Amino acid sequence: MKHLIHKTAAVAALAALATLATGALAQGQWPAKDRAITIVVPFVAGGPTDRVARDLAEAMRKPLGVSVVVDNAGGAGGAIGANKVAKAQPDGYTVLLHHISMATMPTLVRNIPFKVESDFEYLGMVNEVPMTVIGRPTLPANNFRELTTWINQNKAKINLGNAGVGSASHLCGLLLQAALGVDMTAIPYKGTAPAMTDLIGGQIDIMCDQTTNTTAQIETKNVKGFAVTTTKRLTTPALKDLPTLQESGLKDFQVSIWHGLYAPKGTPAAEQARLNAALKVALKDPDFIKKQEGLGAVIFTDNRVEPAEHKKFVASEIQKWAPIIKKAGVYID
């Protein structure tokens, strides 16, 4: 009898262990070893958002234990890619890397097909990237003062590149035109990578773009760097001599491009937590830090890497930008 009880207890213990193991397996099923996690970039490959995403994908691969791939879904200033993720299966395999447009699109672009505040799960913020005002190498101006003279002489004849209505380059270009009191001709692309090619080739004249895309081009003199959009000058060697727009006389001009990671609404809480944990590991990855800092980016280490703070920050940025955009009189129907 004693023996029997013992046996029954052992069987029960084994059964409990088996249940635990199945439970652990069920929990461990995400991410499945044979499935990659896709980071959707709402701009074409080779541009600044793509640069951040590719470096991040590499750094998140290890903590997630599966491949992390980048899917470029450019167009409509970042709205197409964002919409793709808003409507994607909420299974943890599709995430979105997007920038400040998540906060400016709701004011800049009327009728966007998704709701920034309720169609996504917020997974944490990544970094902040300054912008630069750059020009084609043949432009007859060598500093920001000469650039403003040239802009005033040529106005609407000037082709101002951007990554589409609602993009960061579009916002920066709109603010620049409002601050200078001139209207230039906007030339939209599906990302600033192709716009950069045309700027180098002289097909367009000027552009605002993130340092993650412009640093190397300014350094090699493929384009002319005129100013930075931050309140302080940058320390990156290739950019340290560029004046800020504020010191160049454009009062209150300040725009920095922050990035955050999002999942479709309804992504399971456990997957959200794992993605956030992997993001935090990536943000401490020395290789990721080195690559991003070399391009002028500042990696977030504050509480904005927490999903709740990320969400609060985006909501505050929507409030911050709405009056500025409205005051500049810029929006797209």
Q: Which is nearer to ligand ASP, 148 or 210 (CB)?
A: 210
Residue 146 CB neighbours (<10 A): 13
Tell me the C-alpha distance between 6 and 194, whole Å: 73
Window contacting ligand ASP (CB under 6 A); options: 62-70, 164-172, 299-307, 312-320: 164-172
Q: Distances in Å between the alpha carbon of 246 and those of 39, 48, 250?
A: 35, 24, 5
Range 117-156, binding ligand ASP (CB under 6 A): none
Window contacting ligand ASP (CB under 6 A); options: 114-122, 152-160, 162-170, 222-230: 162-170
**Residues 48 and 16: beta-carbon distance below 8 Å:** no
Alpha-carbon dihedral sign for residues 77, 320, 245, 295:
negative
Tell me the C-alpha distance between 203 and 223, whole Å: 12
Tell me the C-alpha distance between 314 and 322, whole Å: 12
Alpha-carbon dihedral sign for residues 53, 126, 100, 314:
positive
**Residues 245 and 83: beta-carbon distance below 8 Å:** no
**Under rule CB under 6 A, residue 38 binds ligand ASP:** no
Tell me the C-alpha distance between 98 and 140, whole Å: 35
Q: Which is nearer to ligand ASP, 48 or 124 (CB)?
A: 48
Interface with ligand ASP (CB under 6 A), residue from 168, 234, 255, 295: 168
**Residues 122 and 262: beta-carbon distance below 8 Å:** yes
Structure tokens at 14: 């084994």
**Under rule CB under 6 A, residue 191 binds ligand ASP:** yes
For the bound state, the minimum distance from the C-beta of residue 132 to ligand ASP, rounded and expressed in Å, comes to 11
Q: Which is nearer to ligand ASP, 47 or 260 (CB)?
A: 47
**Which residue matches tokens 């409990």?**
16
Interface with ligand ASP (CB under 6 A), residue from 148, 210, 236, 256: 210
Tell me the C-alpha distance between 8 and 83, whole Å: 56
Q: Which is nearer to ligand ASP, 46 or 63 (CB)?
A: 46
Q: Show the site string, 43-82: x = touches ligand ASP by CB under 6 A, - = not.
A: x---xxxx--------------------------------
Q: Which is nearer to ligand ASP, 76 or 283 (CB)?
A: 76
Coil, strand or helix at 10: helix
Give how many residues touch ligand ASP by CB under 6 A: 14
Window contacting ligand ASP (CB under 6 A); options: 30-38, 41-49, 111-119, 231-239: 41-49
**Under rule CB under 6 A, residue 296 binds ligand ASP:** no
**Under rule CB under 6 A, residue 163 binds ligand ASP:** yes
Interface with ligand ASP (CB under 6 A), residue from 55, 121, 128, 209: 209
**Which spans of this chain sit near ligand ASP (rule: CB under 6 A)?**
43, 47-50, 163, 167-169, 191-193, 209-210
